[in-house]
């Protein structure tokens, strides 16, 4: 179990990288609970309060190591052909569930799947928004790990799709 301290960076599912600003006691119901207060970097007005005892269950995690970056980019090689058979609503829910895991490879797979769908049949408004959010979450974390400007990481992500990848059913 990770113990975060103020000024540590942490990743929260669907929000991305944040900075732990404090560890505070908060009243939840009738109990006083120790909580992490996390400011989300991509939107400084977003603050997430995460109980320390359930932080891992809620998906709060440390940033990936530099040795894991290549695994993230390799997620762009494969596509889920089953998504083509689903209506947009079911597809959106499936991809949203993947985002909620908070795993960086799942976020990368969501981007991969949406880029594939975009080329094949276009995206709904909700899917376009999900793609933008997923790219922002992934690029923020990778830019910190790779010590590159976020825009450069976004370009690396987009360039990964210029080669025609294999389909995976």
Boundaries of every domain in the chain: 9-54, 66-159
Q: What is the dihedral sign for C-alpha 108, 66, 149, 6?
A: positive
Output the six-digit token pair for 162: 């210029």
Encode pLDDT of 10-21 as tens digits.
999 999 999 999
- Percentage of the residues of the chain whose pLDDT score is greater than 90: 76
What CATH class does 9-54 carry?
A: mainly beta
What is the CATH number that goes with domain 66-159? 1.20.58.1290
Express each pLDDT in 66-109 by its tens digit: 999 999 999 998 888 888 888 888 999 999 999 999 999 999 99
**What DSSP designation does 53 have?**
G
Buried-exposed string 134-169: b where 16+ CB fall within 10 A, e elsewhere: bbbbbbbbbbbbeeeebeebbeebeebeeeeeeeee
**Cβ neighbours for 61, distance < 8 A, ≥ 6 positions apart:** 2, 10, 11, 102
pLDDT for 169 equals 47
Which residue reads 């695994």 in tokens?
A: 71
Nearest alpha carbon to residue 42 among 160, 154, 157:
154
Nearest Cα to Cα of residue 134 among 168, 103, 89? 103
Give φ, ψ of 41 to 5 degrees.
Answer: -65, -40
- What does the alpha-carbon distance between residue 104 and residue 82 come to, in Å, rounded to a whole number? 21
Q: Is the pTM of this model over 0.75?
A: yes
């Amino acid at each position: 179990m990770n113990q975060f301290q103020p000024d540590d960076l942490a990743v929260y599912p669907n929000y991305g990288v944040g900075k732990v600003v404090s560890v505070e006691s908060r009243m939840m119901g009738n109990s006083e609970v120790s909580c992490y207060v996390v400011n989300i970097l991509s939107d400084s007005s977003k603050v997430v309060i995460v109980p320390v005892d359930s932080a891992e269950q809620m998906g709060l995690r440390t940033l990936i190591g530099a040795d894991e970056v290549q695994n993230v980019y390799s997620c762009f090689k494969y596509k889920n052909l089953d998504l083509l058979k689903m209506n947009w609503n079911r597809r959106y829910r499936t991809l949203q569930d993947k985002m909620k895991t908070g795993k960086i490879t799942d976020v990368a797979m969501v981007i991969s799947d949406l880029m594939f769908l975009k080329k094949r049949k276009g995206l709904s408004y909700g899917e376009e928004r999900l793609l933008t959010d997923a790219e922002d979450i992934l690029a923020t974390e990778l830019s910190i790990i790779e010590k590159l400007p976020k825009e450069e990481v976004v370009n690396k992500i987009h360039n990964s799709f210029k080669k025609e990848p294999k389909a995976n059913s």
